[in-house]
Chains A and B, each alone.
Chain A
Amino acid sequence: MKKRILVILLILAVVGGTVFAQGGKESSASGAIKMGALIRNLNEQFVKDYSENLKKLAAANGVELNLQDAQGNVATQLDQLNTLLTQGYKYFVIIPQDTSATEQMAQQIAAVGGGAAFSNIQPSVEALKVGKDFYLASSPEAVAGQYQAQIIDEYFTKYPDKAPGKVLNMLYLQGQLGHPAQVNREAGMIDELEARGYTVNFIAKDTANWTPDQAQEKMDTWLAAFRGKFNIVVAQNDGMALGAVESLITNGFTKNNADDGTILTVPVLGIDATADALNSMDQNKLYATVLQDSVGQSSTAFELMLTMAKNGTANGSTAWGLKPATKVIAEAPANDPSVIGQCYLVPFKPVTKANYKELM
Chain B
Amino acid sequence: MARNNTEKNDVLSTWASMRKLASKYTTWVTFVLLILLLSILTKGAALRWQSIRNLLIQESVRAFAALGVGMIIITKGIDLSIGYVVCLCSSIAASFAQNPNYSSAIYSGHSFPLFVPILAGIVAGGLFGLFNGWLVAYGKLPPFIATLGSMSIAKGLQLIYTKAAVVGSLNQNYKNISQGSVGPLPNLIIYVIIAAIIVWVLLNHTRQGTNFYAIGGNPQAARVSGINVERDLMLVYTYAGLLYGVAGVLLSSRLGLANSLTANGMELDAIAAVTVGGVSQSGGVGTVGGMMIGVFTMGLINYGMTFLAIDSYYQQLVKGFIIIVAVFFDMKKYARRA
Contact = CB atoms under 8 A, between A and B. Distances in A.
Interface of A: 1, 4-5, 7-8, 10-12, 14-16, 18-20, 22-23, 25-26, 42, 66-69, 71-75, 78-80, 82-84, 86-87, 97-101, 104, 176-178, 207
Interface string B257-273: 10111111100000000
B26 A4 contact: yes
Nearest to A8: B30
Nearest to B22: A5
Interface of B: 19, 22-23, 26, 29-30, 33-34, 37, 41, 45, 48, 50-51, 54, 57-58, 61, 163-166, 168-169, 251, 254-257, 259-265, 301-312, 314, 317-318, 321-322, 325, 328-329
Contact of A18 (B34, B166, B256, B318): B318
A88 B186 CA distance: 21
Given A18-B318, A22-B311, A72-B264, A100 B169 contact: yes
Given A22-B310, A73-B264, A7 B169 contact: no
B58 A4 contact: no
Contacts of A4: 23, 26, 329
Contact of B262 (A8, A69, A75): A75
Contacts of B34: 12, 15
Contacts of A80: 306
Contacts of A75: 58, 61, 251, 254-255, 262-263
Given A18-B310, A100-B169, A1 B262 contact: no
A97 B262 CA distance: 11
Contact of B318 (A15, A68, A84): A15
A87 B166 contact: no
A351 B240 CA distance: 53
Contacts of B303: 79, 83
Contacts of B30: 8, 11
A82 B29 contact: no
Contact of B33 (A12, A23, A82, A176): A12
Contacts of A79: 54, 58, 302-303, 306
A5 B18 CA distance: 12
Contacts, number: 131
Contacts of B308: 19, 22-23, 26
Contacts of A97: 261
Given A19-B310, A104-B256, A11 B325 contact: yes
A23 B305 CA distance: 10
A1 B257 contact: no
A11 B50 CA distance: 27
A86 B46 CA distance: 9
Contacts of B305: 18-19
Nearest to B19: A1
A200 B30 CA distance: 62
A318 to B, nearest CB: 30
Nearest to A174: B164
Of all A-B residue pairs in the complex, the 9 with the closest CB atoms, nearest first, are A100-B168, A177-B164, A178-B165, A69-B312, A100-B257, A66-B309, A79-B58, A22-B310, A83-B306
Given A22-B309, A75-B262, A82-B54, A101 B257 contact: yes
Given A4-B26, A19-B305, A75-B251, A68 B58 contact: no
Nearest to B50: A86
Given A5-B22, A74-B261, A75-B61, 19 more contacts: A7-B325, A8-B26, A14-B321, A15-B34, A15-B37, A16-B37, A20-B41, A22-B308, A23-B308, A25-B309, A26-B308, A26-B309, A67-B309, A69-B312, A79-B54, A79-B306, A100-B166, A100-B256, A101-B256
